[in-house]
Amino acid sequence: MREIVFDTETTGLSPANGDKLVEIGCIEMVNRVETGKTYHTFLNPERPMDPAAFAVHGLSDSFLSDKPLFEDVVEDFLDFIDDSPLVAHNASFDFSFINAELAACGRLKVSMTRMVDTLVLARTKFPGAKHSLDALCTRFGIDRSHRVLHGALLDAQLLAQVYVELTGGRQIGLGLDPIARATIDFGDLNGNAADRPRSAPRPARVFAASEEELERHRAFIAKLVDPLWTMNDQEAEIDAGKAGA
């Protein structure tokens, strides 16, 4: 199953107040394994950055001034996410910004049924614990030493590892998970056995010793001095003689 783990950075906390996306980072996963395919872009929000948001991600107005608008990259973004489930931490926040940007471009919003929220998963699995991305990385032993500031692609990469741990760990593909099992193509296992392709049988392996090997074995045995089986034969003859006496 293909899934997209993603994160966003914004100018503030609410698209309803005019805040905009400034960065999107996406990681492709298939059956909970990263494929190496990513999508990443910075965006020009065409509005000033909130100081509190700048303190989080460090993306300044001057840095973003020459970056593309969302409408310039929307096709590439939609092509990458396709119709896959979208995994995010506190996903309703990211979905609200994505859908606000899509609506502004006259595009259909992403259905909330595609949303997988790792914050909800973490709260369910570890009630009462800390559920921030940093806290979950610490819990699962995921190295985040290179995370000085928030960054969409970096956070998506960390979240991908957290998501794997929250959904069963690296052994999820052993077939114990119904989601993983559902993605396996078992082929026509219930069809007529006679109709299934058959591979050519392997030739029988020869395990018997060759005549050359037998001869080497006899030559080796002939060199032994008083082998145990000879002594046993002699003892048997002695015992037989005693019995007949």
Query: What own/partner pairs with CB < 8 Å and gap ≥ 24 does 170-174 have?
Result: 172/31, 172/32, 173/31, 173/32, 173/33
What local confidence, expressed as pLDDT, does residue 148 receive?
Answer: 61
The active-site residue out of 57, 89, 150, 217 is: 150
Percent of the chain with pLDDT over 70: 77
89 catalytic per annotation: no
Q: How far is CA 131 from CA 4, 56, 139, 155, 159, in A?
A: 21, 18, 10, 14, 12
Torsion sign across C-alpha atoms 139, 10, 77, 120 = positive
Residue 179 has pLDDT above 80, yes or no: no
What local confidence, expressed as pLDDT, does residue 191 receive?
Answer: 44
Give tens-digit pLDDT for 80-107: 999 999 999 999 999 999 999 999 999 9
Residue 212 has pLDDT above 60, yes or no: yes
Confidence of residue 210 (pLDDT cuts 50, 70, 90): confident
Sheet holding 21-30: strands in order across? 33-42, 21-30, 2-10, 86-88, 115-117
What local confidence, expressed as pLDDT, does residue 77 receive?
Answer: 98
Angle between the 70-81 and 91-104 helix axes, to the nearest 10 degrees? 120
